[in-house]
Amino acid sequence: MSIALKAEKISKYFYTPEKFKVLSDVSFEVQTGEFVSVVGKSGSGKSTMLYILSTMDTDYTGNLILNDQQITGRSVNKLAAFRNEHLGFVFQFHYLLPDFTCLQNVMIPALRLKKLSAAEIEHNAYEKLKTLGLEDQALKTASRISGGQQQRVAIARALINEPAIIMGDEPTGNLDSKNTEVVFDIFKQLAAEHNKTIITVTHDNDFAAKSDRIIEMKDGIIISHDRKPHEL
């Protein structure tokens, strides 16, 4: 099995209001096709770590390798291009562009990547929405659909460029139990059937328990990242 993510001694400080070490020497690996949940008390540094892993935050020490590519030390523009092609994000809030239709929202990252023609992208986006059960909402404006639907559109957007790694920061935080289950099943399927790597922060213990592996954080350090017995 190849390694999708390798974090080596990642440390980060915040300087306001006072100097404070939010992450200290965080090291771990994630295999390709693994579905990992990150849990821990509020304020333990989960989001901070995820934004570093997502390449958006570059203000840290240590080393990060994603998809066998050296990430630490790359220029901002190169990181943006890497995210565009290889990473997908889902946040607690959907962050769709409300002036565009659902279909257009899903297409935007692919139009940025410019690997396919607009017609092909539209076709793919429509397919993604279909697998998420949203084909009827495709042409509605993103601000005119329900919260659960919006979150699923956001997932479709995260998947449009067929990224190898998908990261989520409490992607089900705003959803009811039924929609949470839908999102979980999508992630599970992506990992199991499409060999995608999923790393998601969650406060939902059931959600975490059903994933392949749980990484638990406390005060900026990882206190356990055991594989569950049945996975080994």
List interacting residues with ligand ATP (CB under 6 A).
14, 16, 22, 40, 42-48
51 binds other proteins (CB under 8 A): yes
Choice between 46 and 128, CB closer to ligand ATP = 46
Q: Which does 45 bind (CB under 5 to 8 A by kind): other proteins, ligand ATP, Mg ion, none?
A: ligand ATP
Within positions 97 to 116, which residues make up the interface with other proteins, using CB under 8 A? 97, 99-100, 108-109, 111-113
Adjacent-strand bridge partners of 218 = 221
Integer Cα distance of 3 and 32 in angstroms:
5
Q: Which does 89 bind (CB under 5 to 8 A by kind): ligand ATP, other proteins, Mg ion, none?
A: other proteins
Report the DSSP pairing between strands 197-201 and 165-169.
parallel
Q: Which does 83 bind (CB under 5 to 8 A by kind): Mg ion, ligand ATP, other proteins, none?
A: other proteins
Within positions 34 to 53, which residues make up the interface with Mg ion, using CB under 5 A? 47
Give the number of other CB atoms < 10 A from CB of residue 183: 22
Binding site for other proteins (CB under 8 A): 47, 51, 54, 56-57, 76-77, 80-85, 89, 91, 95, 97, 99-100, 108-109, 111-113, 118, 157, 169
Binding site for Mg ion (CB under 5 A): 47
